[in-house]
Amino acid sequence: MSTYQSEDTRKVTTRRLFEMKQRGEKISMLTAYDYTMASIVDQAGLDVILVGDSASNVIAGNVTTLPMTLDEMIYHGRSVMRAVKRSLVVVDMPFGTYQGNSKLALASAIRIMKETGADCLKLEGGEEILDSVKRILSAGIPIIGHLGLTPQSINKFGTYTVRAREEEEAKRLLSDAHLLEEAGCSAVVLEKIPATLAAQVASELKIPVIGIGAGNGVDGQVLVIHDMLGMTNGFSPRFLRRYADLHSIMNGAVQQYVKDVKSGDFPNEKEQY
């Protein structure tokens, strides 16, 4: 199977994402939460690494992203940054560190940037978090917005269904996207919304629009790496394409290891001192 290796080895910046949109080059984005995985995806030519609060699900085993703390996100962000040479690294601000208190938001943002060395932050929400967005941006910290399905608000909506199907919510999302751009955000992630609406947002905004479950009319795509590599097998939304079946491969390898240990086959004479 052929692989794509970027020939451009320059460090990806928010400015370069803007330039990619201008020339019609799609933006590739995946999550990573640790040194080893970040090293692999960075070397593969990935444009953007998202240190997502989805670590709450795939790393910590929580049902929602809400339990993730600022210290935990800093730990994951710092681990990723030690590996990365090219990709733009974006760290999610966790629930409770920016909503409703712009001073707390700035303090939290500064901690993440200073203690991880990350390139950018991501915040969920539109008009309701605009004060926090503006205050963080005023400190020179780049922000990527996140609209549509916002997992940190799951208790408010009560479902992970597709967002913005109705006209009123679609208009509000479009308005929020413009507000985030006007405030100075570097890009916007759109999660699980109708493809036609996502394409409209991408066509109206000058900044890049990155989708997850938002169709192909946007400027880039993002997936959770554990999902796209098939390490998780209980999550199969329509938008997910699995590029490998690591769950089966890893399970088989462990089973063989157990068998070899119990039979005395491992280690053999060549595998000992």
pLDDT at 2: 42
pLDDT at 214: 98
Q: How many residues does the chain have?
A: 273
pLDDT at 1: 42
pLDDT at 154: 83
pLDDT at 94: 98
DSSP code, position 235 = -
Instruction: Write out the two tokens for 18.
Output: 């803007």
CA distance 1 to 187: 32
DSSP code, position 185 = -
CB–CB of 68/55 below 8 Å? yes
From 127, 191, 204, 271, active-site residue: 191
pLDDT at 4: 46
CA distance 97 to 27: 28
CA distance 120 to 185: 10
pLDDT at 9: 67
Q: Determine the longest span between alpha carbons in the chain, in angstroms.
A: 70
pLDDT at 234: 82
pLDDT at 10: 73
Task: Name the nearest CA neighbour of 92 among 174, 178, 31.
Answer: 31
Q: pTM (2 decimals)?
A: 0.94
For the chain, which ranges sit under pLDDT 70? 1-9
Whether 7 is catalytic: no
pLDDT at 160: 81
pLDDT at 8: 62
